[in-house]
Every structure is written in structure tokens, then in C-alpha cells.
Amino acid sequence: MEGSQDLCLSYRSSLLQVPHSIYHKPILQLSLIMAAESSEGEEEAKLTGGNQLLVVDDDLREMGKKAAWSVSSCKPGNGVSCLRDDNLETYWQSDGAQPHLVNIQFQKKVRLQLIILYVDFKLDESYTPSKVSIRAGDGFHNLKEIKTVELVKPTGWVYLSLSGTDPRETFVNTFMLQIAVLSNHLNGRDTHVRQIKVYGPRPNPISHQPFQFTSSEFITYSSIR
């Protein structure tokens, strides 16, 4: 990776094997969120702290492994693959002007519900993001901001819901997500992000069925063969 700028900036996540046990847990724990409407209609949120354990509802599945990942810039040895290596000791470090961008592109339209970042103010200080914009669209040409989030000295896993203000809007249906780091703590220029996970609703294993069984016994006897 150190010898190639292309590998530093772009990473196809399908090559990564992510251990199932680290992210599928029975409960979804969210940090405290204070949401308000901006003048343009996007949701603005303020998050404090962070979770030390990655805890995600069983109804969600990690979708990042199906995407091609790229970043706007990086230091050699701290490229885009560090965002997906399941190692909290490594990090992506940008190397350029703000905003710093992480691009997540899918080959087909997917439903996405949750982004989870691992950031560490205690270790990274002025490299820690303080304001993040989430954008979605078909590609670079029509990305639209759907949420901005202010992070207050975060240390741990930070949950960014993609749900809209309408209770019926529980996910976004998109080809591409872009995470833009707009500013850092203490007016830092470059940024550190240690991990990014992207989750969408788990598909119903039984077609044309309005609800989803979770136990293997119920699934086995839920249809006539």
C-alpha cells in the first residue's frame, strides 16, 4: 500500500473477510443524539461520547464488504484499507485540504440504515472529526446531503442513523454514500478515522412474507414444501 497512491486512495472491500461475531449483537445502543432541523431541511445532530463495544441489532447486516471504497487523500501507510481492517490501532489519515471524503460505492442500489465510525479523541486530539456530513446519491454527480453531525470529543463507536424525520423513512435507498469530514477538533487540518461500518436491513429469508422469523426452527416450518 505504501508504494502505490492508487491503493492508498481506493480499496475494494469485497476482498475483506469481516468476523461475524464482532458486530451482530442482540441490542442496538445509540449515543445521546440531540436533533434539530436546519434551514435547508437536512437533519442536524450533536453526539457526545461514544460506545466502547460495537453493538448492532440482529435485524441489520454489514454492507460495506459489498462496496468499493475510496478516499480523497491519505498519508502513505494510512490509506483507505485501514478503515476496514477491524484493527482499532490503525487509522486512515487524510493528507490535503478539507473537506476530507470517504466514498462508498455499490454496484447496485442498496438500502442503508446506519453508519458507525470509530474515532478516538483521547489518542488523536486535533485529528478527530468534529463535524461530519453524510451524503447519498447515484454517483458523484448528484450527491445530496441528508445529515450533518457534530461530534463532541468522541471516543469509541459513534452511531449515525440514516433514518429521516418521518418515522416511515427508516433507510436510504442509494448507489453511493459519501462521508465528508468538514472540520476537526482544535482546528486540526487532517483527520483520523479508525473504522467505518455501514449497515442495512437484513433481507427477509422468506419471500412475500411480511414478517421475519429469527429462529431456525420457525424458518424451517414457515413454508409448505
pLDDT tens, residue by residue, 75-119:
999 999 999 999 999 999 999 999 999 999 999 999 999 999 999
What pLDDT is stored for residue 69 in this prediction? 98
pTM, 2 dp: 0.76
The amino acid occupying position 170 is: T
Contact of 157 with 53, CB cutoff 8 Å:
yes
Phi, psi (deg, nearest 5) at residue 42: -75, 155
Mean pLDDT of 119-145: 97
pLDDT of residue 167: 63
Residue 169: the pLDDT is 72
Query: What's the pLDDT tens digit per position in 177-218?
Result: 999 999 999 999 999 999 999 999 998 755 555 555 555 565
Identify the pLDDT of residue 14: 43
Distance, CA of 74 to CA of 25 (rounded, Å): 32
Output DSSP code: residue 77: T
pLDDT of residue 210: 55
Residues 6+ away with beta carbon under 8 Å from 18: 62, 64, 65, 84, 86
- pLDDT tens-digit series, residues 11-61: 665 433 334 334 444 333 333 333 333 334 455 677 777 889 999 999 999
HSE-up (13 A, CA, CB side) for residue 108: 0
Cell of 35: 436533533
The H or E element that residue 59 is part of is none
- CA 67 to CA 11: how far, in whole Å? 9
For 44, phi then psi, to 5°, come to: -110, 140
Note the pLDDT tens digit of each residue in 51-75.
899 999 999 999 999 999 999 999 9
